[in-house]
């Protein structure tokens, strides 16, 4: 946005310093006049014994020296104010240069302002922290974009291969080709929808409202219960009413992803899934546990990364897109919550989601 040119901050500070000093000097001269010179007689009586100078003589002697002193004071205040203002604004210049570098795309630069803690040091430290987070976010976005491109390219490449084979072999059964194309296309659609959900959660572009997390959990379980029964799993849900504030659609997606992961990454048969909701003074907690193989700690720590399918987890016939827990993590952060993953001692995974609770007024 274009602005009209004006005085720099350094010049404004210099003029302010000079104005304050000149006002102080003028005030001192006014004090001399009010309290000293006005008591000197305007004109002394003729032939007065031991007569001193009258007011006119004192003014003639004092005025030139006072004027010279004010001129020197003005020059000194301007020069000193210019130097002092430049010294005080030097950190601001470094911050401005860092901001220009960040605008050009360089996020690795840091101000690292030296000196004691003051307002400029706090601003520089806050700016360094912002640059650090932006650099980490930019690296994460680049890695995510690369992974997403790779994941989306795979079904497209498979589709192209199937079409090339069908073109070269016109006698091939078209029903088989249609089934395989339908499967690949469904996978691509699932991945695209997951990417859109993840982007929506990261941008926090959703409307917030009152949500009962226990009802959301019941809906997710009811939807996925046929899948659990097909796999011979037992699903148990219990808990209290858990009121929170957020997007019901996204929280349902969060809960569905957790329950779905607990079902598909479970024992081949005779496994179990437990879903509970609890209420604390300031938080509501959703916990989803499942049986399964023992998970090493390094594997658990990488499960929330996008496109990480848990190389150490139990084998399953479910081909996920690798975004389930990444979406859960993004939705949790978008709702100012905390996501905790921990391996169960007896095998399997325990996922805990802590969200801010709705403060209800005390009933009479």
Does 265 score more than 80 pLDDT?
Answer: yes
Q: What is the pLDDT of residues 86-103, one digit of tens each?
A: 888 888 888 888 888 888
Average pLDDT over residues 213-228: 91
Is the pTM for the entire model greater than 0.85? no
Q: How confident is the model at residue 148 (pLDDT cuts 50, 70, 90)?
A: low
Q: CB 16: neighbour CB atoms within 10 A?
A: 12
Q: What is the pLDDT of residues 42-88, one digit of tens each?
A: 655 555 454 556 667 777 777 788 888 888 888 988 998 888 888 88
* Distances, alpha carbon 290 to alpha carbons 4, 139, 256, 264, 269, in Å: 65, 33, 14, 10, 12
Taking the C-alpha atoms of residue 335 and residue 330, their distance in angstroms, rounded to an integer, is 9
DSSP 104: T
Does 349 score more than 80 pLDDT?
Answer: yes
Contact 109, 102 (CB under 8 A): yes
CATH code for residues 209-356: 3.30.565.10
Tell me the β-bridge partners of 239: 277
Does 25 score more than 70 pLDDT?
Answer: yes
Taking the C-alpha atoms of residue 305 and residue 309, their distance in angstroms, rounded to an integer, is 9
Taking the C-alpha atoms of residue 316 and residue 313, their distance in angstroms, rounded to an integer, is 9
- Tell me, yes or no, if the two domains 122-203 and 209-356 fold the same way: no
Of 85-89, 146-150, 306-310, give the lowest mean pLDDT range. Answer: 306-310
Contact 272, 341 (CB under 8 A): no
Contact 288, 273 (CB under 8 A): yes
Q: CB 260: neighbour CB atoms within 10 A?
A: 20
Please state the domain extents for the chain. Answer: 9-42+52-106, 122-203, 209-356
Does 105 score more than 90 pLDDT?
Answer: no
| Strand 234-239 versus strand 272-279 pairing type | parallel
Q: What is the pLDDT of residues 266-296, one digit of tens each?
A: 877 788 999 999 999 899 999 999 998 888 8
Name the one residue in this structure whose structure tokens are 């302010």: 16
Model pLDDT, residue 243: 93
Nearest to 342 by CA among 318, 317, 325: 325
Q: How confident is the model at residue 316 (pLDDT cuts 50, 70, 90)?
A: very low
CATH architecture of 122-203: Orthogonal Bundle (1.10)
Model pLDDT, residue 363: 44
């Amino acid at each position: 946005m274009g602005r009209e040119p004006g005085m720099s901050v350094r010049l404004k500070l210099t003029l302010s310093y000079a104005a304050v000093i000149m006002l102080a000097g003028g005030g001192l001269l006014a004090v001399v006049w009010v309290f000293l010179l006005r008591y000197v007689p305007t004109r002394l009586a003729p032939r007065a014994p031991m007569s001193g100078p009258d007011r006119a003589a004192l003014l003639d002697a004092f005025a030139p020296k006072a004027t010279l002193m004010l001129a020197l004071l003005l020059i000194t205040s301007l020069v000193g104010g210019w130097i002092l203002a430049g010294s005080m604004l030097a950190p601001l210049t470094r911050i401005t240069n860092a901001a220009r570098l960040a605008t050009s795309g360089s996020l690795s630069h840091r101000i690292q302002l030296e000196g004691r803690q003051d307002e400029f040091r706090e601003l520089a430290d806050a700016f360094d922290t912002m640059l650090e987070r932006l650099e980490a976010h930019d690296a994460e976005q680049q890695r995510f974009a690369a992974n997403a491109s790779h994941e989306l390219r795979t079904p497209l490449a498979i589709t192209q291969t199937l079409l090339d084979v069908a073109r070269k072999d016109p006698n091939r059964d078209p029903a088989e080709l249609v089934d395989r194309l339908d499967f690949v296309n469904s996978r691509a659609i699932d991945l695209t929808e997951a990417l859109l959900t993840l982007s929506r959660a990261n941008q926090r572009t959703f409307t917030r409202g009152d949500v009962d997390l226990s009802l959301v959990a019941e809906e997710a379980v009811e939807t996925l219960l046929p899948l659990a029964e097909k796999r011979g799993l037992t699903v148990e849900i219990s808990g209290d009413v858990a009121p929170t504030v957020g997007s019901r659609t996204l929280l349902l997606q969060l809960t569905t992803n957790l329950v779905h992961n607990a079902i598909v990454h479970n024992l081949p048969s005779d496994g179990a899934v437990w879903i509970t909701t609890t209420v604390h003074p300031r938080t509501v907690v959703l916990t989803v546990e499942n049986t399964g193989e023992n998970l090493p700690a390094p594997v658990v720590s990488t499960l929330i990364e996008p496109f990480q399918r848990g190389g150490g987890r139990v084998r399953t016939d479910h081909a996920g897109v690798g975004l389930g827990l990444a979406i859960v993590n993004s939705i949790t952060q978008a709702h100012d919550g905390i996501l905790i993953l921990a391996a169960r001692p007896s095998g399997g995974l325990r996922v805990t989601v802590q969200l801010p609770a709705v403060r209800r007024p005390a009933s009479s």
